[in-house]
Amino acid sequence: MKSKILKVSLNRKIENLSYPIIVGDNILRNSGEILKEFLHKKKVVVIYDSFFSSTTNPNNAFEEFVQSINKLTATLNFIDIPGGDKTKNIDQLNKIIEKVLAYGIDRQTVIIAFGGGVIGDVAGFAASILLRGIDFIQVPTTLLSQVDSSVGGKTGINSKIGKNLIGSFHQPQAVLADINILKTLPKREFRAGFAEVVKYGLIKDLEFFNWLNQEYESIFIHDKNSLKTMITKSCEIKADVIKNDEKEGAERALLNLGHTFAHAIESFGNFDGRVIHGEAVSIGICLAFKLSNKLCFCSIDDTKKVINLFQKSKLPTSLHDIKKISISTSGMIKKFKLDKKSKQNELTFILNRRIGESFIKQNVNVGVLTQFLNEEV
């Protein structure tokens, strides 16, 4: 299967930045040729998910990737870190920074993030602050990271106060998404990534949502054509959203549909795996549509269609679907106030007028929101 190359173009005031997203099947074995212009005779540090060096890893894609880029580089060093949100903390970041500096890097050094969204977030943040900013490349290995977190330049770590509150915008030089490596994902992780895919149809593409509603079964059996179409379309939509709003001053906030709820839900679980990001997003999107309906913005029919697709995809759609996590209305409200979209203690949510049309709703009434949550918790 031939690879598909997309371009992310950002219209900055000072410079026009663009970088490629390469999507294909078994393309990691040709990484050296694909990434030659970025890596040739440079010092390279690969920060990768320790899963790929474990005996339980059934895929040799990482070894093929390393072999393919090895001869290109001036030096090639490795740092393995665990996946999962527990890794996104200041202590782990400090360890990575000290290790990278010990390799004698310079301003031309390139960091490669090889793993899921957590690896990309942490490695990208490290790249953004090392020597006041060095280049990095994203090699996302999960569905969630291939369709969402690897594109757009958001990097960062979690605080004890909340999720993704420490970070920076640092765009990658390139994104290399190999659909073959998705075979390494547990079913739960793959389905969780699908929630982020559905989000793209919901915010601005009804036709894509309808396609996902028809093709979800082929996606879950890893049909290659369906996967390639799904990932490419998701990246196209995200690139279109961020091209004029790199740092979330306006439209880019739409990409957070369901995430204000989701981040609060995740923090109640202390990021311990009882609920993972995509599952929280699935619940969060359903809550956003229910709230949109309650506020008379969106029809009950559209709300039911959204919930039905997530249910068919075996994803949670309600706070009651989360086991062994105690969630309170007052606690949710407190966490909403820490959301980056909130301003001067006024709560902001991404809501929908219909499937395919999200909008930013500022100053959501706390009383109405409290009543709504009391019905859901």
Q: Which of 149, 144, 143 is CA-nearest to residue 172?
A: 149
Domain end residue (candidates: 137, 164, 185): 185
Domain end residue (candidates: 154, 185, 216): 185
Q: Which of 33, 113, 104 is CA-nearest to residue 74?
A: 104
Same domain, 355 and 255: yes
pLDDT tens, 209-265? 999 999 999 999 999 999 999 999 999 999 999 998 998 889 999 999 999 999 999
Question: What gap in Å lies between CA 120 and CA 189, rounded to an integer?
Answer: 16
Predicted TM-score of the model (pTM): 0.93
Number of domains composing the chain: 2
CB 144 within 8 A of CB 119: no
Same domain, 227 and 286: yes
Residue-level pLDDT at 215: 97
Residue-level pLDDT at 227: 97
What lies within 8 Å, CB to CB, of 363 at 6+ separation is 346, 347, 348
Question: What gap in Å lies between CA 212 and CA 231, rounded to an integer?
Answer: 12
Same domain, 113 and 254: no
Residue-level pLDDT at 298: 98
Same domain, 305 and 325: yes
CB 21 within 8 A of CB 177: yes
Which residue shows structure tokens 């694909």?
Answer: 34
% of the chain beyond a pLDDT of 90: 84
Same domain, 349 and 217: yes
Which amino acids are annotated catalytic? 132, 154, 196, 238, 248, 252, 256, 259, 263, 277
Residue-level pLDDT at 161: 86
Which residue shows structure tokens 């010990």?
Answer: 102
User: Quick one: DSSP state of residue 148?
Assistant: I
CB-neighbour burial class of residue 120 (10 A; exposed 0-12, middle 13-18, buried 19+) = buried
pLDDT tens, 327-342? 999 999 999 988 878 7
Query: Which structural domain, as residue segments, surrounds residue 20?
Result: 4-185
Same domain, 24 and 124: yes
Count of H-run helices and E-run strands, the chain: 14, 11
For 337, phi then psi, to 5°, come to: -70, -15
Question: What gap in Å lies between CA 192 and CA 320, rounded to an integer?
Answer: 17
Domain end residue (candidates: 185, 206, 237): 185
Residue-level pLDDT at 55: 63
Looking only at the bridges linking them, the beta strands covering 110-115 and 43-49 are: parallel
Q: Which of 155, 180, 189, 225 is CA-nearest to residue 62?
A: 180
Same domain, 272 and 162: no
Residue-level pLDDT at 249: 87
Question: What gap in Å lies between CA 24 and CA 233, rounded to an integer?
Answer: 13
Same domain, 44 and 140: yes
What lies within 8 Å, CB to CB, of 34 at 6+ separation is 3, 22, 27, 176
Cα–Cα distances in Å, from 279 out to 37, 42, 253, 320?
38, 39, 20, 13
Domain of 329, CATH number, reads: 1.20.1090.10
Q: Crossing angle for the helix pair 224-242 and 206-220, nearest 10 degrees?
A: 150
Same domain, 165 and 250: no
Question: What gap in Å lies between CA 54 and CA 136, rounded to an integer?
Answer: 24
Q: Which residue ranges in the chain fall short of pLDDT 50?
A: none
Same domain, 130 and 216: no
Q: Which of 146, 340, 364, 138 is CA-nearest to residue 252?
A: 340
Residue-level pLDDT at 13: 63
Residue 203 forms part of a structural domain? yes
